[in-house]
């Protein structure tokens, strides 16, 4: 099992510095997400600085960008990193796609499926496997003159992953994607009872093995040898769980574990600007369900116990935040990374 770190919005110099730190610490890679900043430029800076890391987008927002552009970016990054790149795509939500990006959203599931297939067809054409010919319900690609074909390289077998939460999207991922970006707000029960069965159903529908679909799992990790040491990071994670959990579509994450009504309470706190109440609503029991919490020396074992055999990669959500506040913790995070990677 590989272990990566989540990268925030970084300038080019900072991205390079962080990548060198992450590489020295023994992590497997870095995952760049897209919020107020696209991932591509800072990822390129990081990749130049740390030649042994794997780089992932987790996720890049798909619908505002042509599938041809997404495939071209992935092709260039894979070539420049020697194949140490995975393209992770996601749909985002209607408000952002329509009102921030000014693009079409409906229907998100079928549109995302067609987008993934279009990207895969473009990559196949770049490799020379077949002519470019994608004729889907939302995207049509059929023109790739030689002068517009990206230069060939030896790393064209690029994995294309998708973020998925609900049953339709996770089954679709099992059918056509190389991997699933699991939502950071998840419990082991969700993985076992909802996500994995849906991925398996989609894979079987397409005649694939469920093992062909990697799970890439962001994890809230809260280490510390005393409650007082853990408290700052625990509070940050409670806020993040509360923020995600306030979304009504994720209410089932709490309901499945017997905490009915939690999402509504979180939503009310967020709407009222009561961020203290938001964090306080996430109890210690909830924190243990949605995060890995414990002494430094126990964290690697707990990660392996929970995710081994399930996740291809785990991504530590708050490592870089913690190291920025406590540089002296870097050695302890390094011990965790090396132990997880060595726990075959």
Sorting pLDDT into bands at 50, 70 and 90, what band is 127?
very high
Q: How far is CA 162 from CA 30, 57, 58, 88, 261, in A?
A: 17, 10, 8, 5, 29
Residue 79 neighbours by CB under 8 Å, 6+ apart = 151, 153, 155
User: What is the residue extent of each domain of the chain?
Assistant: 2-226+290-341, 227-289
**Helix, strand, coil content of the chain in percent (nearest 5):** 55, 15, 30
Give the burial class of 327: count Cβ atoms within 10 A of its Cβ; 0-12 exposed, 13-18 middle, 19 or more buried.
exposed
pLDDT digits (tens, 9 = 90+) for 84-121: 999 999 999 999 999 999 999 999 999 999 999 999 99
105: left (phi over 0), alpha (psi -120 to 50) or beta: alpha
d(CA 48, CA 19): 9
Bond preceding residue 125 cis, omega within 30 of 0: no
Question: Regarding the domain delimited by 2-226+290-341, which CATH topology (the fold level of the hierarchy) does it fall under?
Answer: TIM Barrel (3.20.20)
CA distance 125 to 119: 10
* pLDDT value of position 267: 97
Bridge partners, residue 86, by sequence? 56
DSSP H/E element including 25: helix 12-25
Mean pLDDT of 180-198: 98
Which helix (H) or strand (E) segment is 155 a member of? none
Query: Tokens at residue 340, please?
Result: 């997880």
Per DSSP, the three-state class of 65 is: coil
Q: How do residues 269-316 score in pLDDT, each as one tens digit?
A: 999 999 999 999 999 999 999 999 999 999 999 999 999 999 999 999
Is the Cα dihedral 295, 299, 301, 302 positive or negative?
positive
pLDDT at 216: 98
The helix-helix angle for 262-272 and 227-245 (nearest 10°) equals 90
For residue 307, the model assigns a pLDDT of 98
Of 70, 21, 78, 67, nearest to 44 by C-alpha is 78
Hey, what are 153's tokens? Answer: 């390289």
Mean predicted confidence (pLDDT) in 15-32 = 98
Question: Which pLDDT does position 344 carry in this prediction?
Answer: 64
DSSP class per residue in 238-282: HHHHHHHHTSGGGHHHHHTTT-TTHHHHHHHHHHHT-HHHHHHHS
Q: What are phi and psi of 219, to 5 degrees?
A: -130, 135
Q: Is the pLDDT of residue 199 over 70?
A: yes
Chain position carrying tokens 């029960």: 189
Tokens of 138: 């939302």
Q: pTM value?
A: 0.96
């Amino acid at each position: 099992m590989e272990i990566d770190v989540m990268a925030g919005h970084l300038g080019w110099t900072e991205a390079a510095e962080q990548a060198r730190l992450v590489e020295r610490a023994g992590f497997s890679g870095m995952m760049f997400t897209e919020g107020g900043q696209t991932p591509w430029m800072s990822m390129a800076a990081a990749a130049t600085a740390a030649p042994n890391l794997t780089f992932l987008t987790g996720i890049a927002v798909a619908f505002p960008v042509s599938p041809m552009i997404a495939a071209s970016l992935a092709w260039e990054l894979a070539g420049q990193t020697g194949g140490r790149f995975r393209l992770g795509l996601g749909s985002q939500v209607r408000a952002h796609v329509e009102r921030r990006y000014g693009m079409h959203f409906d229907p998100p599931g079928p549109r995302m499926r067609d987008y993934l297939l279009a990207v895969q067809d473009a990559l196949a054409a770049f490799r020379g496997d077949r002519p470019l010919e994608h004729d889907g319900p939302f995207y049509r690609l059929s023109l790739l003159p030689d002068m517009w074909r990206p230069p060939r390289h030896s790393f064209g077998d690029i994995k294309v992953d998708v973020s998925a939460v609900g049953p339709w999207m996770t089954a679709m991922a099992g059918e056509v994607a190389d991997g699933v970006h699991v939502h950071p707000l998840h419990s082991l029960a969700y993985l076992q009872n909802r996500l994995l069965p849906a991925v398996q159903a989609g894979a079987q529908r397409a005649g694939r093995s469920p093992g062909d679909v990697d799970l890439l799992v962001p994890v809230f990790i809260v280490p510390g040898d005393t409650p007082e040491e853990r408290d700052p990071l625990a509070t940050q994670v409670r806020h993040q769980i509360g923020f995600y959990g306030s979304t009504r579509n994720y209410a089932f994450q709490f309901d499945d574990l017997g905490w009915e009504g939690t999402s509504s309470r979180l939503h009310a706190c967020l709407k009222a600007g009561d961020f203290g109440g938001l964090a306080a609503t996430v109890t210690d029991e909830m924190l243990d369900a949605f995060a890995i919490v414990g002494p430094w020396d126990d964290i690697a074992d707990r990660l392996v116990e929970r995710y081994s055999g399930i996740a291809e990669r785990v991504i530590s959500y708050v490592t870089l935040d913690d190291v920025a506040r406590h540089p002296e913790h870097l050695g302890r995070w390094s011990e965790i990374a090396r132990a997880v990677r060595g726990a075959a």
